[in-house]
């Protein structure tokens, strides 16, 4: 009798563990699986970062991967240094997937993101002039200066080669999830 209770408990615990790990795997879809498009972005021609134009809700799509990014400009009280608060939303549900803070370095923003499940990865935002873009710029519902490219990769990848690079378009000047939900319904 004790053996049956023990085995039943063990089966239940294993079942819960396996379903929790399956949930974590689906929850952690914060990056596209790979970059199957090779786009020769002219990294040496990066433009000064457009601080006055960046705040708002942005959308990125690549294949089945869709995600939204709320970007908010903040200043450190002590130093006055500008930072970019980054919040990533799921492309289907508009739930928050990850958050992070980005700093400007060499005309681009580098942010370390942490997902709700504890996975850390990096995001880079780079601005290009439209004439320097190797592909036509995406047009969102809000006009922006130039072309913005969002790059994503794991923390262990050095350089840009191991990252996924996607054009990102601005869909709203507001930072609320409502605009994400409205866009998903389209």
Rounded Cα gap, residues 181 and 123, in angstroms: 23
What distance lies between CA 7 and its chain's CA centroid?
Answer: 43
pTM summary value: 0.79
pLDDT of residue 84: 97
pLDDT of residue 121: 94
Closest CA to 107 of 146, 68, 138: 146
* Domains in the chain: boundaries: 1-28, 43-185
Instruction: Note whether 153 and 33 are within 8 A (CB).
Output: no
| Local confidence pLDDT in tens for the 186 residues of the chain | 555 544 454 443 434 334 333 333 444 566 665 555 566 789 999 999 999 999 999 999 988 889 999 999 999 889 989 999 999 999 999 999 999 999 999 999 999 999 999 999 999 999 999 999 888 888 877 878 789 999 999 888 777 778 889 999 999 988 877 778 887 777
Taken as a whole, the chain contains a residue count of 186
């Amino acid at each position: 009798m004790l053996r049956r209770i023990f085995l039943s408990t063990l089966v239940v615990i294993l079942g819960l563990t396996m379903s929790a790990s399956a949930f974590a795997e689906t929850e952690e879809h914060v990056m596209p699986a790979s970059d199957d498009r090779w786009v020769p972005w002219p990294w040496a021609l990066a433009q000064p970062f457009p601080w006055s134009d960046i705040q708002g809700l942005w959308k990125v799509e690549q294949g089945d991967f869709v995600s939204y990014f709320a970007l908010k400009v903040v200043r450190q009280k002590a130093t006055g240094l500008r930072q970019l608060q980054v919040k990533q939303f799921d492309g289907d549900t508009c739930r928050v997937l990850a958050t992070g803070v980005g700093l400007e370095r060499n005309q681009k923003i580098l942010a370390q993101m942490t997902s709700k499940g504890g996975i850390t990865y990096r995001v880079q935002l780079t601005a290009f002039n439209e004439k320097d873009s190797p592909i036509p710029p995406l047009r969102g519902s809000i006009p922006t200066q130039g072309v913005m490219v969002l790059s994503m990769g794991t923390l262990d990848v050095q350089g840009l080669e191991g990252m996924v690079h996607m054009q990102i378009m601005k869909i709203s000047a507001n930072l609320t999830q409502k605009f994400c939900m409205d866009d998903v319904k389209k």
